[in-house]
Structure 1
Amino acid sequence: MVVNDRLRANIDVSPRTAAFYDAVITALEEERLPFMLGGAFAFEVYTDIGGQTKDLDLFLHPRDVDAAMAALAKRGYETEMKARHWLGKVKSERDFVDIIFGSGNGLAPVDDAWFEHALPAEVLGHEVRLIPVEEMLWSKSFIMERERYDGADIAHLIRVAGRTMDWRRLVDRFDRFWPVLLAHVVLYDFVYPADRGRVPDWVRAELLGRAQEGAVDPAAVEDRVCFGTALSRAQYLPDVEGWGYRDGRLSPYGGLTESDVEHETARMRKELDL
């Protein structure tokens, strides 16, 4: 909801957890490290849909992550860099805060534009910023795991924010991965046939035009790239490990190194007990 021209994120957690979240936010403010609120809390602010996980997701620019982790460790919290290319964690007893500065597939790094388009909000008495709805949609669009699929979140975000989103900026964000956005637009039209107008006609025309023209990177064809790993870190492993496809997360197609992919795969196998 809007309070004094600001969005308010309702943090419905235990007093112990709220105190931890407040302390982490206060620490970043004291260190003058810019951050944005994302995750389930920001999604609930944008859509009024609650009931998701209530871990606190704070988004930082990569240049500020080491300083943030050091500042929180100095204050006595347990900190761990779970993945050098996108994720740190801060722990207090049973509570966690995620320090996010990219995405697991390496395709949605936090950059200055996130902060330029962030929206002011209030949380736990702090004046903060929410990650932009465009960047939330962009990063969520690639989450198509067996155990988690964010397609419904994408449809809900388009429904509530489609008329006001910066679609040009969103299309440009997807860059060579525009077919993923097209897929979500097609699914949105299926889910909400009465609300197709929330996606501008030019977006459909541009993306469908690219598809009809067969806009495929010839280098990706030559290299036999599988971009499925950008959508699921687990379900396309047979393609890159046994079928001879090149992992689309790797340079020059994606932003990850071989070491990043190995680490992300090992972390996934541990989490899923594979």
Structure 2
Amino acid sequence: MSKIVQRRTRASRADKPRAVPQLVDDEAELFVADAVAALVESKIPFLVAGTFAVSAYTGISRPTKDLDIFCKAGDSARILAYFRDHGYVIEVEDDRWLGKVFRGKYFFDVIFASSNGAIPIGDAWFDHANSFEIKGQKVAVISPTELIWSKAFIQLRSRYDGADIVHTILRMHDRIDWRRLLAFMEVHWEVLLIHLLNFRWIYPTERDKIPDWLMDELIGRLEEQRRLPLPQMKICRGRMYSRSDYRIDVSEWGFADVGGEGEMREDLEER
């Protein structure tokens, strides 16, 4: 048994009320049950995330048609190959982060990183996972901390996961490892601050659910940042939220993408 699997079986159990999503029909129920059983049988380490994790931690049961499976990058090809060898149709949608496993019109995602590359799935995700039963199988579900991290950048015009984040904070604040979450989002601390301010605005009576030290730390960073000169390189981090919604910024307006070169502020001022 691998070390990762051993850690998974020792994962702590969340003791708050749980729920499961409402799958769209009986065939979807059967597909998910078969897929989870096959994943367990494969012995390849995996984590359940997405709507199933949201339901487990918040008690919210909402309709869904698929399943999000997280794994380390090195195991994604193994999972896809395992299901291909068992008669499923597989697709590598984006070699940077996403594969899919199909049976007819039903599918589940095999995810090893976020689409923007900011969130790789690593050992820590397995170290802190919780054990839940899904479709009669005991499986590891990402912790509330990693659940927030996994959803922090999902802010497209067509999809926004901020509600999942604030609901997770509301219901599982005492289970969130706030220092680990800050470490995850160290480079993107402003995104974390935005989500925390969003929570405070939505639930003014629940502001104490977020540690004072964390708000002090983030607001202190903001105050220090305001005293610095503006960056010289024009960048648009919006592409970490949505490549399509912020395409014009890098294609026409002179902003650099998250990586690559852009125009300098002084060059624009001279025009």
TM-score (norm 2): 0.84
Q: Deviations over 1:78-116 (max 9, x none)?
A: 100111111111111111111111111111111111111
Q: CA deviation at 1:228?
A: 1.0
Aligned counterpart for 2:218 among listed residues 202, 207, 231: 207
Aligned counterpart for 1:237 among listed residues 247, 253, 260: 247
User: C-alpha distance in 1, partners of 2:157/2:128?
Assistant: 32
Q: Deviations over 1:115-166 (max 9, x none)?
A: 1110001011111011111111112111111111111111111111112211
User: C-alpha distance in 2, partners of 1:216/1:41?
Assistant: 43
- Is this contact kept in 2: 1:61–1:101, CA < 8 A? yes
2:58 counterpart residue number: 47
- Is this contact kept in 2: 1:11–1:123, CA < 8 A? no
Q: Does 1:93 align with 2:104?
A: yes
- Is this contact kept in 2: 1:162–1:198, CA < 8 A? yes
> Aligned AA for 2:257?
D
User: C-alpha distance in 1, partners of 2:167/2:177?
Assistant: 16
User: C-alpha distance in 2, partners of 1:144/1:49?
Assistant: 20
Q: Does 1:192 align with 2:203?
A: yes
- 3-state SS, counterpart of residue 175 of structure 2: coil
2:256 counterpart residue number: 246
- Is this contact kept in 1: 2:145–2:181, CA < 8 A? yes
1:104 counterpart residue number: 115
1:24 counterpart residue number: 35
Residue identity (%): 39
Relative to 1, partners in 2 of residues 1:215 and 1:170: Cα closer, same or farther, differing over 3 Å?
Answer: farther
Using the TM superposition, name which of 231-240 and 111-120 deviates more. Answer: 231-240
> Aligned AA for 1:230?
M
Aligned counterpart for 1:170 among listed residues 163, 178, 181: 181
Relative to 1, partners in 2 of residues 1:186 and 1:7: Cα closer, same or farther, differing over 3 Å?
Answer: closer
> Aligned AA for 1:236?
Y
> Aligned AA for 2:255?
Y
Relative to 1, partners in 2 of residues 1:57 and 1:138: Cα closer, same or farther, differing over 3 Å?
Answer: same
Relative to 1, partners in 2 of residues 1:22 and 1:143: Cα closer, same or farther, differing over 3 Å?
Answer: same
1:114 counterpart residue number: 125
Q: CA deviation at 1:72?
A: 0.3
- Is this contact kept in 1: 2:90–2:99, CA < 8 A? yes
Pair member with larger Rg:
2
- 3-state SS, counterpart of residue 81 of structure 1: strand
- Is this contact kept in 1: 2:31–2:103, CA < 8 A? yes
> Aligned AA for 2:56?
V
1:145 counterpart residue number: 156
Segments of 5+ residues of structure 2 without an aligned counterpart are: 1-12, 262-271
Relative to 1, partners in 2 of residues 1:30 and 1:89: Cα closer, same or farther, differing over 3 Å?
Answer: same
- 3-state SS, counterpart of residue 158 of structure 1: helix
Aligned counterpart for 1:61 among listed residues 55, 72, 85: 72
User: Root-mean-square deviation (CA), in Å?
Assistant: 2.4
> Aligned AA for 2:75?
D
Q: CA deviation at 1:247?
A: 0.9
Q: Deviations over 1:204-246 (max 9, x none)?
A: 000000000007999x933322111112222211111111211
- Is this contact kept in 1: 2:18–2:55, CA < 8 A? no
Relative to 1, partners in 2 of residues 1:125 and 1:208: Cα closer, same or farther, differing over 3 Å?
Answer: same
User: C-alpha distance in 2, partners of 1:49/1:4?
Assistant: 15
Question: What number of residue pairs does the alignment pair up?
Answer: 248
Segments of 5+ residues of structure 1 without an aligned counterpart are: 253-274
Relative to 1, partners in 2 of residues 1:216 and 1:154: Cα closer, same or farther, differing over 3 Å?
Answer: farther
- Is this contact kept in 1: 2:22–2:62, CA < 8 A? no
- Is this contact kept in 1: 2:22–2:63, CA < 8 A? no
